[in-house]
Structure 1
Amino acid sequence: MNILVTGAAGFIASHLCEDLASKGFNVYGIDNFNDYYDVKLKRLNAADLLTKGVKIFEVDLNSDLAEVFKVKYDYIYHLAAQPGISTTTSLEEYVTNNIYATQNLLDFVLKYNADLKMFVNIATSSVYGLEATVDETVPPQPVSFYGATKLAAEQLALALQRTNKLKVCSIRLYSVYGPRERPEKLYTLLVENLFNNKPFPLFEGSDKHERSFTYVGDIVEGLSSIIGKEELINGEIINLGTDEVNTTGQGIELVQKIMNKQLLIDHKPPRKGDQQRTAAVIDKARKLLDYSPKTSFEEGLKEQVKWFKEKFID
């Protein structure tokens, strides 16, 4: 069975590729290795994937993908995106990399591989708005370029399902953390600054933000469980996260405890577009995917600290 994963050298996608390869699937990845963050980290991830037999196409999703589709795929997991809440990323970049790239990929799927078993679109809890504490039936109210463009991408994919052109589901992820997390994300940045005794930028009020911090291994288990359930989840939108809620401040305290170090804080003004509270409602994932996140917050953070130390300190 052939599976294509977009954004393969990135955080979540690289873990998904490894997991699928370990299950005996033929895994192919797409990544353009852009410089949104240090390309060296993506190259490290890609090197790990190559040792697991994953083939990676180094290509931009907004380009000609005919070479990629010389292979017939059974499943496509679409994780590539312009990520996060960033004051330095323009609306044009979000539109290009989240909307146009998704539509270009879908066009090539329809042309070369419309008979695939499932197109799995990876969305985000950011589509819900300032408080992501609801189930999948509640209308989205995004407040950021990221959330708005990821919602548009989700709807482009689901439109093809509604018109019977493609089997599609969309998975909305919640605050994923763990080994390989992007360098500007909370816990990688926190661990790096603690190791190097550098001030950590803390946006005003963000220490009180509540999050469904979800370990990447649990997310990957949920995503891989889709295989074989395509008839059950075709057309569905599913939240994937943990229903355990912690504050950012609690996470900071845990990492300090794990590393036995005190953090230096660089206080910053509030950041526009930040969610105030997320609490994943995962009843649907439990029912349809038999999903059950198992990794405790402290256990997951220990794994992230261990990874960072192995890759960048020792």
Structure 2
Amino acid sequence: MKILVTGAAGYIGSHVAERLKSLGNNVVGLDNFSDYYDVSLKKLNAKGLEEKGIRIEKIDLRYSEELQNLPADFNYIFHFAAQPGISAASSFEDYLGNNVIGTKNLLDFALKNKKLALFVNIGTSSIYGINAAFDESVPPTPVSHYGVTKLAAEQLVLESSRLGDIKACSLRLYSVYGPRERPEKLYTKLIANAFKNIPFPLYKGSENHLRSFTYVQDIVDGVVSVIGLEDIVNNEIINLGTEEENTTQHGIEIVEQILNKKIDLQIVEARSGDQLRTKAVIDKARKLLDYNPKTSLYEGLKVQVEWYQNNFL
């Protein structure tokens, strides 16, 4: 099968592209190589994918004309490309352009693919709001521009499936960690600061935040499992994460245990829009996808520490 992965040079997208290729598919990746974080990290991911036979195209989905020369012969589209996070450095226009306009342009391209079996939108638990501990039937109440625009993108995708234009679903991911995690995210930054012996900036009160920290390969298992189930997942929203909850403080302590060192914490002002709790309710994923995340936080963080050591020390 021929599969398109957007945001393929990014964190989770690169892992999914790699898995799809390992399953014998012809995988093409798109990425705009945004400078939201160090572009060299995306280039490192892209190089690794290209060495495995995955072609990476530099395309910015905000501009529909950049998709015009892309062959419209894909069987599946996995849409990871987005403006991520709740950084003050990102404007509302950044979120609107990348998350909403980009998704609409990709949907217009998807309609040209006559052999398309399924469009898979990658959503986020941020859609739920401050507390993300619900099943998929609960009305969303996002509290960040990221959450609001990701909800809008999700609804654009599901609109197309409701109208019968394409088959589509949306997978809402929960607190994904592991190798290739973005440098500003909790664990990569925590590990990096520990090795560099510099204080880690901890948002005030966040040590008590509860998270469904989910190992990236468990997420990949769930994402790729939709292949062949398009009639079952069409027009569905499905949570993907782990039911296990851990506080941020406990995660910090696990990293300290793995590294056998105490990490200096510097308390900084809390961020607006940060979630207090995420707990993945995955009954639907278990039923429809036979989804079963199994990696413990300790096991996953041990792999992430090893990845950092192998690539950055």
Q: TM-score, normalised by structure 1?
A: 0.98
**CA offsets 1:69-105 (integer angstroms, 9 cap, x no match):** x151110000000001111111111001100000011
Say what the alpha-carbon RMSD is for the aligned residues: 0.7
Q: What amino acid maps onto 1:267 in structure 2?
A: I
SS in 2 for 1:254: helix
Distance 1:66 1:286 in 2: 38
The residue that corresponds to 1:89 in the other structure is 90
Q: What amino acid maps onto 2:95 in structure 1?
A: Y
- Where do residues 18-29 of structure 1 align in structure 2 (5 Å cutoff)? 18-29=18-29
Q: By how many angstroms is 1:262 displaced?
A: 1.2
Distance 1:219 1:152 in 2: 22
Distance 2:33 2:185 in 1: 18
Distance 2:230 2:267 in 1: 47
User: 1:242 aligned to 2:242?
Assistant: yes
Distance 2:212 2:196 in 1: 28
The residue that corresponds to 2:13 in the other structure is 13
| 2:210/2:248 contact within 8 Å kept | yes
**CA offsets 1:281-303 (integer angstroms, 9 cap, x no match):** 00000000000001111000001
Distance 1:189 1:27 in 2: 30
User: 1:78 aligned to 2:79?
Assistant: yes
The residue that corresponds to 2:197 in the other structure is 197
- Where do residues 219-298 of structure 1 align in structure 2 (5 Å cutoff)? 219-298=219-298
Distance 1:43 1:89 in 2: 21
The residue that corresponds to 2:110 in the other structure is 109
**CA offsets 1:199-223 (integer angstroms, 9 cap, x no match):** 1010000000000000000000101
**CA offsets 1:222-267 (integer angstroms, 9 cap, x no match):** 0111111111110100000000000000000000110111111111
Distance 2:157 2:228 in 1: 20
SS in 2 for 1:171: strand
User: 1:188 aligned to 2:188?
Assistant: yes
Q: TM-score, normalised by structure 2?
A: 0.98
Q: By how many angstroms is 1:309 displaced?
A: 0.5
SS in 2 for 1:267: strand
SS in 1 for 2:77: strand
Q: By how many angstroms is 1:30 displaced?
A: 0.2
The residue that corresponds to 1:66 in the other structure is 68
| 1:114/1:165 contact within 8 Å kept | no
Distance 1:52 1:221 in 2: 19
Q: Which portions of structure 1, spanning 4 or more consecutive aligned residues, are displaced by more than 6 angstroms?
A: none
Distance 1:71 1:148 in 2: 30
Q: What amino acid maps onto 2:267 in structure 1?
A: H
| 1:115/1:166 contact within 8 Å kept | no
The residue that corresponds to 2:51 in the other structure is 51
Aligned residues: 311
| 1:190/1:200 contact within 8 Å kept | yes
| 2:174/2:212 contact within 8 Å kept | yes
- Where do residues 158-169 of structure 1 align in structure 2 (5 Å cutoff)? 158-169=158-169
The residue that corresponds to 1:145 in the other structure is 145
SS in 2 for 1:119: strand
SS in 2 for 1:231: helix
Distance 1:81 1:114 in 2: 25
Distance 1:109 1:295 in 2: 34
